Structure 1
Amino acid sequence: MQPEKKISFDSISTLVTPIRLILGWQFFSAFLRRVINDPEKLDPNSPAYMGHAFNHFLPHALFIKPMIEFLITHVHLLYIFLFTFTIIEGLVGIGLILGLLTRLSSLGATLLSLGILLGSGWLGSTCVDEWQIGIAGIGCGLVVMCFGGGLFSIDYLLLKNRTSKILRLLTSGPFDLNSVQIRNIALIFSIIAVFITLFTYQALHNGLYGKLYNLSKVPKIEILSANLYDNGALKMILYRVDGPDTYGAFVRQIIVSNDSGNIVETFDPNETNVDKSKIKNFYFNKIEPNKYSLVVPLGAKAEIELLPTQNIKLERGKYKIELIDVSGLKWEKYININ
């Protein structure tokens, strides 16, 4: 019987190199896109600015919604946050690609992926792609954090003979653990990864039980409040909560009808007949009229006042406010004139 061959920890951890390199490139390429390939992503005056995407996360973000709302209402802090986030992504990516401070870098990748998952895991107009990116990043980050950089890493070249436990926690190399402790760590990390995966899949997409839904497929505008005055003036607070983040909803017509179903007033909101000073936007993404309609980007929320189009006198009673999108989608709310 041949004696059992012993394989070093560094040799086993080298098998994780492809995961480390790909995960590193995922974050470093994000840094490159914003700093070199498309610097407009960090230009607050550009339509490509990342602040718009950050605002898109707001309607269905998990746990971090208050932070997102705070940042998109404080644009200077939003810029600092996005710039800092980009730098951290670059450092994490470089660390993983080079195998430098590998465990610290993989911890950063895990936390960044968790943030991405909680913020944008509900997005993806054709599939659950943002959710998949988030959970894959968490799983890969945990694996690399356990194994370190392996033989093809700067950690191994520079620190292979160091015995400091703190250095090992930050870089690479074997832990001073027995088989039971290693098994327990593997079990804990597995439970964490599986729990996050299944919990967010249900919370963001109803994927475990019930009917699977995709909140970023079809636009939806919520009429949070509406006030109709007897002279026909209409004041509303609109909030776009669902649909693709790549384009807005386009409200081409607003119809007011009475309790009998008769139309009493029609608004055609566009840049000609909507006073921009009567639109109060709350967030970074703004509701604005264009030549043909009222454009409502994902995550935008605003109070809009529409002046009467004709001299009318509305009676007390129940009325229906109906928003009609260019696609034919409709959103409505019933209100009363007292």
Structure 2
Amino acid sequence: MGLTAAKHHVTEDNAWISGLGLLAVRIIQGFIYWGGGSRRFIYAPDKINPEAPHWMAYKFQTAMPGALLGFEQVISFMLQHFWLLFTGVILFSAAELIAGLFLMLGLFTRLSAFLTMGFSVLLMLMFGWQGATCIDEWTMAACNLAMGTTIFLCGSRQYALDNLILKKYPRWSESSLFRWVGGALPVPLQPSGYKKLALGLLAFVVIFNVGTYSYYRGSVVTPFHQGPVNPSIHHISLSRGEVHEDGSVSIHAYLDAGTPEAAMHIMDVWLLDAQGNKIAHWDTEQLSALPKNSFDNDYAYNKFVSGPYGIQAIVGAAATLIFPSVANTLPDSQMTLMMIDADGRKFKAPLSRTK
């Protein structure tokens, strides 16, 4: 009898203790997402102002080259459709703000935690590859996913508005919906079902977090590497190169790797013949003097433009570049365009003649 009572007492104490133990996790998870939303709506509204230099579209565009599972195409489509982009930024920011605030208050705790899990996955797929010295965006999203999952499973037993709601409406204890949405009571599952849910979510979190880490940096079953998209060294993909009848040259350039914290600078552009001999040259001064109509940018945000050190661009920029004629005659054979950046890296692409 005494042993049974003691066991029951310990079980109740454990539930009470776990509620207090998870309080810091719930508050900080909420603060992180409330902070993300409040910065945009209250403290740094330029982030949701399309006319401001810190408009969120610039950040989204830098994520585009390394985004996973087709999100590169999704981001590209949104960047080219302003109202879809603007609506998405506002709705995402508002959802972050509300979910974060509700977590701190312990209001509709499980639903709010589930939303933060979704945010973490989304942010991981978009920004997880970024970070020059370590994958900063991955680290934050990985931790938030684990924290959100823990809160979703455990609820909010202490210092939460869900508990006040239950006291005011005790009949809600019989509602499966309230048990799934709120955090004052256990989810409506048998112990075996709860165990399966917890282990299933554990498997998802571990596989998703460790899998993306291995993809981005290795160091799990392969050596460390910089990932399919290098977050620190700039790279330009060149395509659709053409030589026109007037001797001008056009080519499509996409800055598809590197840090978004600094611009890339193209300081020399050469035309090479089939043997690799240099037959035409645009130097830094000429590149810096290129007019605006020499850049047909794909997006309205991060762009290729002329700058003090030739052509400059931020990660995610894509444009058709047009170089004026600088040679009296050009050979009929195959030609190649070569760009050289400020660090001496070379990028080449073949050119075809327009008819």
TM-score grouping bracket, smaller chain normalisation: over 0.9
Cα displacement string for residues 286-307 of structure 1 (whole angstroms, at most 9, x for unaligned residues): 2111233111211111111111
Is 1:251–1:324's contact at 8 Å kept on the other side of the alignment? Answer: yes
Out of 208-217 and 268-277, give the one that drifted further: 268-277
Letter in 1 for 2:176: K
Out of 6-15 and 242-251, give the one that drifted further: 6-15
Cα displacement string for residues 68-124 of structure 1 (whole angstroms, at most 9, x for unaligned residues): 111011122211211111111100110111101100100110001111001111111
Q: SS at 1:254's partner residue? A: strand
Specify which of 277, 290, 294 is matched with residue 262 of structure 1: 277
Is 1:231–1:313's contact at 8 Å kept on the other side of the alignment? Answer: no
Task: Report deviation, 1:333.
Answer: 2.1
Out of 327-336 and 56-65, give the one that drifted further: 327-336
Letter in 2 for 1:202: S
Task: Report deviation, 1:223.
Answer: 0.6
Q: 1:209-288, aligned counterparts within 5 Å?
A: 209-211=221-223, 212-214=225-227, 215-229=230-244, 232-268=247-283, 273-283=289-299, 284-288=301-305
Structure with higher helix content: 2
> Structure 2 stretches of 5 or more lacking a match?
none
Letter in 1 for 2:240: S
Q: Percent same amino acid among aligned pairs? A: 23
Q: 1:1-338, aligned counterparts within 5 Å?
A: 2=3, 3-4=6-7, 5-8=9-12, 9-63=15-69, 64-160=71-167, 161=170, 162-163=172-173, 164-172=175-183, 173-211=185-223, 212-214=225-227, 215-229=230-244, 232-268=247-283, 273-283=289-299, 284-310=301-327, 312-335=328-351
Task: Report deviation, 1:259.
Answer: 2.8
Task: Report deviation, 1:279.
Answer: 1.7
Letter in 1 for 2:193: Q
Out of 209-218 and 87-96, give the one that drifted further: 209-218
Cα displacement string for residues 237-290 of structure 1 (whole angstroms, at most 9, x for unaligned residues): 000010001122111111112233321111136675313123211123221112
Give the aligned CA root-mean-square deviation in angstroms: 2.0
Q: SS at 1:175's partner residue? A: coil
Q: Distance between the aligned counterparts of 2:33 and 2:96, measured in 1?
A: 5
Task: Report deviation, 1:60.
Answer: 1.6
Out of 100-109 and 126-135, give the one that drifted further: 126-135
Task: Report deviation, 1:152.
Answer: 1.1
Is 1:10–1:174's contact at 8 Å kept on the other side of the alignment? Answer: no
Task: Report deviation, 1:225.
Answer: 2.4
Task: Report deviation, 1:10.
Answer: 4.9
Q: SS at 2:214's partner residue? A: helix
Out of 286-295 and 111-120, give the one that drifted further: 286-295
Q: Distance between the aligned counterparts of 1:114 and 1:334, measured in 2?
A: 39
Q: SS at 2:334's partner residue? A: strand
Cα displacement string for residues 152-174 of structure 1 (whole angstroms, at most 9, x for unaligned residues): 11111221533122111111112
Q: Distance between the aligned counterparts of 2:113 and 2:188, measured in 1?
A: 20
Letter in 2 for 1:244: T
Is 1:233–1:306's contact at 8 Å kept on the other side of the alignment? Answer: yes
Is 1:240–1:300's contact at 8 Å kept on the other side of the alignment? Answer: yes
Is 1:27–1:92's contact at 8 Å kept on the other side of the alignment? Answer: yes
Aligned residues: 337
> Structure 1 stretches of 5 or more lacking a match?
none
